[in-house]
Amino acid sequence: MAHENARKGKSHYHEVRMVDADPGMYLGRIQTMLKNKIFKNSHYKVFVKKGRKDRVIHKLPYFPDRIIHHCIVQVCEPIWVPWLIPDTLACLKGRGIHKGVKCIKHALRIDPEGTRYCLKMDVKKFYPSLDHGILKRILARKIKDPDVLWLLGRIIDSTDKGVPIGNYLSQYFGNLYLTGLDHWIKESLGCRYYIRYCDDMVILGADKSKLHEIRREIETYLIDRLSLTLKSDWQVYPVAARGIDFLGYRFFPGYTLLRKSTAFEFKRKMRTIRRGKYDEKYPVSIASTIMSYHGWMRHANCLNLWHRHVDEKIKGILADVCERGGFSNPLEKRFT
């Protein structure tokens, strides 16, 4: 099952085809590694992913590492997820960005007075700063099997400090590392409107001075209990004046816009496609690009922006690549 899950979208990889050719032999080797405790983390392939923020990515081989990571998640996820508060959103089934969008919109709609101000903050160099000892103690609170803890320890100690961005397990480690903070913010500090996506946190409240006090307490908690520090660019500001810049959107009372950088990138990509520079790409890449923005903009008040830049030429190109690729045109459904 782990092999089937790990190979999704990667069936063209050489390593995936290798395991597919003789799954009994390769998966049997993984079983032997785990039973005899001879598994060693493979060497990482390290590269920089360019973007709004450049990120150092650590990539592991498909066999055996990525299959083993999926094995662990299949068994441990049902134990870990109920431990997390509902407002932890990143990399979890049934949650994600759009659940966060709904939560923020709902809060602004039902309680305008209680959401007048926003505290926005994130952790400095979050993944590279996770303390191995603290992380292992947190995991041991829910996982008692010494063999599983040995395996998790092997993976955690594969780097000198922190957990590498790119590991399938790192996103779970990050959520679990901050789950004590989440419960403390909700239950001890009594913050009703608190949402966390990875290490990005938003707290809404009616009192600006109270949010400043909460920020100071959170900063102390992070330092004393988790050996982490907040970035210095935290902000407390009125929501109506600036909006909540979070999850790729800007939330205002009564309406929602795309983040400026996302809207700029959308316009740039539509210009590239319109100029005919799409021929060098696979047809599915064109459809995926257009429809990914369609999905983003459906959750915001972006109808005019969409119609200004997805004109008849773009629609014609999309229809053409869909026909060439042999799949139906997703824009046949009306954008609302």
Tokens of 208: 């600006």
Q: Of 323, 324, 268, which Cα lies nearest the Cα of 293?
A: 268
* pTM (two decimals): 0.89
Tokens of 242: 């600036």
Q: Measure the N-to-C terminal CA separation of the chain; round to a whole number of Å.
A: 39
DSSP annotation of 81 reads G
- What's residue 336's pLDDT? 47
* Residue 57, amino acid: I
Q: Beta partners for 56?
A: 48
Classify burial at 51, counting beta carbons within 10 Å of its beta carbon; exposed 0-12, middle 13-18, buried 19 or more: exposed
Residue holding tokens 């790409």? 281
Residue holding tokens 């995936």? 16
Q: Of 117, 95, 122, which Cα lies nearest the Cα of 107?
A: 117
CA angle 288, 293, 297 (to 5 degrees): 150
Instruction: Tell me the pLDDT of the chain (336 aa) as tens digits.
Output: 999 999 998 888 999 999 999 999 999 999 999 999 999 999 999 988 877 677 888 999 999 999 999 999 999 999 999 999 999 999 888 899 989 999 999 999 999 999 999 999 999 999 999 999 999 999 999 999 999 999 999 999 999 989 999 899 999 999 999 999 999 999 999 999 999 999 999 999 999 999 999 999 999 999 999 999 999 999 999 999 999 999 999 999 999 999 999 999 999 989 888 887 655 555 667 788 888 898 889 899 999 999 899 888 888 888 877 777 666 776 765 554
- What's residue 311's pLDDT? 86
Do the bridges between strand 200-205 and strand 193-197 make them parallel or antiparallel, or are there none, so unpaired? antiparallel
Buried residues in 9-42 as b, exposed as e (16+ CB within 10 A)? eeeebebbeebeeeeeebbeebeeebeeeebebb
